Structures are given as structure tokens and as C-alpha cells.
Amino acid sequence: MLIVMKVDATDAQVREVEERIRSLGFRANPIPGSERTAIGITGNAGPIDPAEFEGLPGVKEAIRVTRPYKLVSREVKPADSVIDVGGRPIGGRHIAVIAGPCAIESETQTRTIAAAVAEAGADFFRGGAFKPRTSPYAFQGLGLEGLKILARMRQETGLPVVTEAVDEESMAMVEDYADAAQIGARNMQNFSLLKRAGRARMPIFLKRGLSATLEELLMAAEYIVSEGNYRVFLCERLPQHEEEEEEAVYPVVARLMGGEDPMSSMARAHVEISHLVRVYRQLLEELPPEGPDRDDLTDLRRVLYGLHAILRLHFAQEEEAYAWLSAEESVSV
């Protein structure tokens, strides 16, 4: 259930509602808004009578929440979320680009790529200091030293840093060095890590699991939010195989975000962005160990400029889009 307070409700009235919720054996989850405060109720095994709260001072209404995910539902918070990450927004109509290498392998490699993505217009720098691998013998990341390199790149480029935490111990270290913690696809249902992320002092970048449904992704986010951290943003994965594009991803995108027409604006944007990110992924896979050369950086910048243009066209920001397209055509290192 969601308790919506009146615009002029006082702090004392909000506390009174929270105390009533706790007296019933449930958990109160205050959700501050731009105009009013709402309080989500969790921990109830069955429906709650709205009359328990509708007569309390400052209460506007009590709304039943029908979704299994209570706190990340549009029923609880209809407005778009805008998350502040290191002083820069993610969400709403702002277009944010997060770019960087898969893994932090050396300071030289990281500095070269960080400078390139900053010049290309990226908003955030990402790179893995901790890397979960299928093989226990594969490179697992530089760990703490990788985090220190990322912190130096933030100081040099001004870009906020996003990096992955793979367990509770690494989450504590990421809190000290980064601006947002990523929970990777392999850990999307690592429930102890999700709870720890909910107690973190930073935004959480949650990636969809390899075969996870949309509901499973949102329930994973619910674990984080239910612990008190509302600064969560989600990452949809690109298809791993060509057949997945037709079987799974496009119908989901078209149905949830672009209507029934598979060639809706969002579906077309997804097609173009999928292509660009596949090119970007291939670029990073082909970079030599000593770091990218001039041609690599030229291609990387073209990819990022094209991504900027496509996203701005989707949001009907035509003038900015054409500026980025012109930059893509004339780019040089």
C-alpha cells in the first residue's frame, strides 16, 4: 500500500503515519517527491484496510499497490526518476553516455581511453576493477589498485566513475573510490549483494541478468530500494546472439516502450544503438594490450558521436543531433 501525504503535510504528520505503520508490524518506506511525500508499506502478507490511514492528519489518500514490486512501481512513483551521479543527472530527458574499457588493465591504457571518451562527449567513465570470470584462472581485475586508477582518471578528466562491485567486501571499497556501483548481470540475483547495495552511500547501476525477465529485474531493484537506497538505474542488456534479437529483445522493447508497431521510434532507436554498441564492443575487444592507437580512437569517437546523434533524434532534439552527426563526419584524432 502507498500512503500519499498532502502537499502541506508537516514532518510531524509524516512521522505519525510512519509510527502507525510500524505499530501494525509493517515497514514504512518514505519516498520524498518534488511536491509531496509518499510512504510505501512493505512487510504485509495480505491487503491492508485503507481506513487505517485515511483519517490521519496530513494524509491525502491510501492506494493499493497491485504489483509484486512495491517501491519501484509506477503506482508508487508515477514521475520519471532522475538520479544524480557525481553531480551529473541520469534519467528524464537528459541523455547520458557511460563509456570506458571492460577492465582496468593498466594506468596507461585507462588514461588513453578516459581522455578519448571525455573528448568524445561521454558523461561518465566506466571500467572494471573487479571482474567476475567464468574461469578462476582468468584475469579478475586489479582490485584496489584499479579503483585508485579510476579515481585518478576522475580527477584528470572530470568524469564521474562507474565501476562494478562483485561482493560485499568490494562494495565497501567501491564506495570509497567511485561515484556509482555497478551490479553486473551475473550478480543480478545475488540477494546479499543487493541488500548491501541498498545500504550503500551511492547510486547503483543494476544490469539485467542473462536470461532474466523484466519482473525479475524489477524485483532485484526492489531488494535495493527496500533497504533505503532509491538511487537505482537499470541497464538493459543487448542480445548475445542474432536470433535473440528477433526472439526476445525487439518484442519487449516495442511492447513496453514503443507500442505494438515494431518499427516505432523506440524500436528503430534500439536497432541503431544495438549496432553502434556492437561496433563499440568489437573495438574494445580488438584493442592491443598496450592501449588503443590513433585509428582505434578515431573509430571510438565516431561511435560515440553517432550514439549522441541517434539519442537526440529520438528525443526530437534535431539541432543537437545534426551537430553531433557533423562532428561524426569530421572527426579526427
pLDDT in tens, 212-248: 888 888 899 989 998 989 899 888 765 444 444 433 3
Predicted pLDDT of residue 49: 86
Highest mean predicted confidence (pLDDT) among 42-56, 88-102, 145-159, 260-274: 145-159
pLDDT higher at 230 or 66 = 230
Residue 312: CB partners within 8 Å, gap ≥ 6? 95, 318, 320, 321, 324
Which CATH number is 2-63's, of 3.90.600.10, 3.40.50.300, 3.30.70.1140, 3.30.70.270? 3.30.70.1140
SS3 of residue 190 by DSSP: coil
Q: At what angle do helices 191-198 and 214-226 cross, to 10 degrees?
A: 50
In whole angstroms, give the CA distance from residue 321 to residue 306. 9
Q: Give the residue among 35, 27, 31, 26 at the shortest CA–CA distance from 14.
A: 31
- Specify the CATH superfamily of domain 82-330: Aldolase class I (3.20.20.70)
Cβ–Cβ under 8 Å, residues 138 and 130? no
Which residue(s) pair with 30 in the sheet? 39
Residue 330 has pLDDT above 60, yes or no: no
Q: How many CA atoms lie within 13 A of 315 on its CB side?
A: 15
* Count of H-run helices and E-run strands, the chain: 12, 12
pLDDT higher at 72 or 36 = 72
Residue 257 grid coordinates: 516502450
Determine phi and psi for 5, rounding to 5 degrees: -85, 160
Residue 166 has pLDDT above 90, yes or no: yes
Predicted pLDDT of residue 181: 96
Residue 217 grid coordinates: 529485474
Predicted pLDDT of residue 293: 56
In the chain, % of residues over pLDDT 90: 31
Residue 74 has pLDDT above 90, yes or no: no
Sign of the Cα pseudo-torsion (156, 157, 161, 163, in order):
negative
pLDDT higher at 328 or 248 = 328
pLDDT band at 43 (very low <50, low <70, confident <90, very high): confident
Residue 322 has pLDDT above 80, yes or no: no
In whole angstroms, give the CA distance from residue 311 to residue 94. 10
Q: At what angle do helices 107-119 and 294-314 cross, to 10 degrees?
A: 40
Distances (CA, A) of 12 to 39, 59, 72, 76: 14, 12, 26, 22
pLDDT higher at 79 or 28 = 28
Q: Sheet containing 180-183: give its strands across.
A: 98-99, 124-126, 161-164, 180-183, 204-207, 232-235
Predicted pLDDT of residue 297: 60
Q: What is the pLDDT of residues 258-305, one digit of tens each?
A: 344 443 444 455 545 554 555 555 555 555 555 555 555 666 666 666
Length of the chain: 333
In whole angstroms, give the CA distance from residue 58 to residue 277. 49
In whole angstroms, give the CA distance from residue 180 to residue 172. 12
Q: At what angle do helices 144-157 and 168-177 cross, to 10 degrees?
A: 20
Could you tell me the pTM of the whole model?
0.70
Q: How many CB atoms lie within 10 A of CB 34?
A: 5
Which residue(s) pair with 204 in the sheet? 181, 232
Mean pLDDT of the chain: 77
Q: What does the domain layout of the chain look like in residue ranges? A: 2-63, 82-330
Residue 183 has pLDDT above 90, yes or no: yes
Q: Give the residue among 170, 203, 209, 204 at the shortest CA–CA distance from 189.
A: 209
